[in-house]
Structure formats: structure tokens, C-alpha cells
Amino acid sequence: MGNRLNRSRENGKPLARPVVFLARHATPDWNRKDIRYDVAPGPPLVPEGEEEARTLGSYFRTSGVHSIVASPLVRTLHTAELAGEVAGAAVRVEAGVAEYRREENDDAVFARYNDVFEQVWTEAEKTGPVAIISHGGPVRVMLERFGIAAEHIWHYRRQFDHQNPLPPAGAWEITRVDDRWQANLVFAPQAFTAYTPTIVYV
């Protein structure tokens, strides 16, 4: 799925709508209990996760992603590096999109993540799609703060591990339409049931 288009035109050509992908790291070694999950370095990817990361990279390539921002934890950075190799995208690290630490609340996570997101959104407006590879908890916080319906988010939280709104190596597409944020889960390396909004007849 490439860039969607809005109704604005310049010189008779449609303008590409900015797109940012909020992705989750690929599958790490869930069995590592000797290191904390929420601080660097955290558990590494397993071989299955490495393959998931490459699959995510293929999706990014077809979507035109040219730049990837990664959390500094090893599972996210490795995911970004593998995906970036496939997508031909540059990778940089931003501590603001790191894992949800056990001593933090949603407000704290949103404050640091949103600082990075605003910079990335500006980049996407100028140069095309950008991806942020982070963690399930911070992605959930951002979706809620974007005003995405709770039923939409919970539709996916019920499907994936630890009630995350996306599986390992999954990605939500974030766009703006009529000054409102829109978000959709657009990629996962596993099968999932897509969200269909309830239609209310009046």
C-alpha cells in the first residue's frame, strides 16, 4: 500500500498525504528473565524475529519509507536495521520512543514520544513516508492520544500478545484527514482480523 492521496492539487497533480508508520519490534527472546525488558539492552531478537523484521522491511519498501526511527533497545534497533536494509531506508535512534518503563505513566510516555513524532511528521510532510519502530505500550498510548476509538484499539489488543495493539513487526499507518488523525493497522507478519467500524443507522 503506497501513499494515499488527498484532494489538494498543485499544478494539476495530487499531493501525497503525509504518512508515518508506528511499528513494533519483531519477536524477541521472551524466555530471557535475567535482564529487564523495559531498559536497554533488553532481550534480543530470535531467528523468527529476524525474518519478521525483513518482511516488515519489504512492506516499508513498497510503501516508500525512506527513513526509520528506532528505539535504542536492542530488539527495536535490530528490527530497524534489518528492515532498513531491505527497504533501503536510513536508520537513526531516538531515546524518546523507547519502551514504556515500569516507573512511567501514560502522560510521561506520551510527552517523550510525541516530541519525536512531531519531528517525524514534519519530515514526512517534506520528504515522504517515515517509520518509527518502537514498542507495543508506547504505540497504544499514541493511538489513544490521537483520538482513535477505544473499540478500534481493543479490537486488536484482544488479538495480540500482552494486549498490545499490534503484533511483533506489525505497523499502523498514521495520516491526517480534515484535521483529524486517522490510524489503521496495515501490516502484520501473521494473520489478523481487520477492524470494521460498527454502522449506526439513524
How does pLDDT run across 100-131, given as a tens digit for each residue? 999 999 999 999 999 999 999 999 999 999 99
21-187 maps to which CATH number? 3.40.50.1240
Q: Are 100 and 109 spatial neighbours (Cβ–Cβ below 8 Å)?
A: yes
- Would you place residue 171 in the very low, low, confident or very high pLDDT band (cuts 50, 70, 90)? very high
Write out the three cell numbers for 61.
519498501
Measured CA to CA, the distance from residue 28 to residue 44 in angstroms comes to 5
Write out the three cell numbers for 179.
484535521
- The DSSP line for 142-162 is HHHHTT--HHHHHHHHTTSGG
Measured CA to CA, the distance from residue 151 to residue 130 in angstroms comes to 27
- Domain range annotation of the chain: 21-187
Query: Does residue 12 register a pLDDT over 90?
Result: no
Using DSSP's 3-state secondary structure scheme, residue 6 falls into strand
Residue 201 pLDDT: 54
Pairing state of beta strands 130-134 and 67-70?
A: parallel
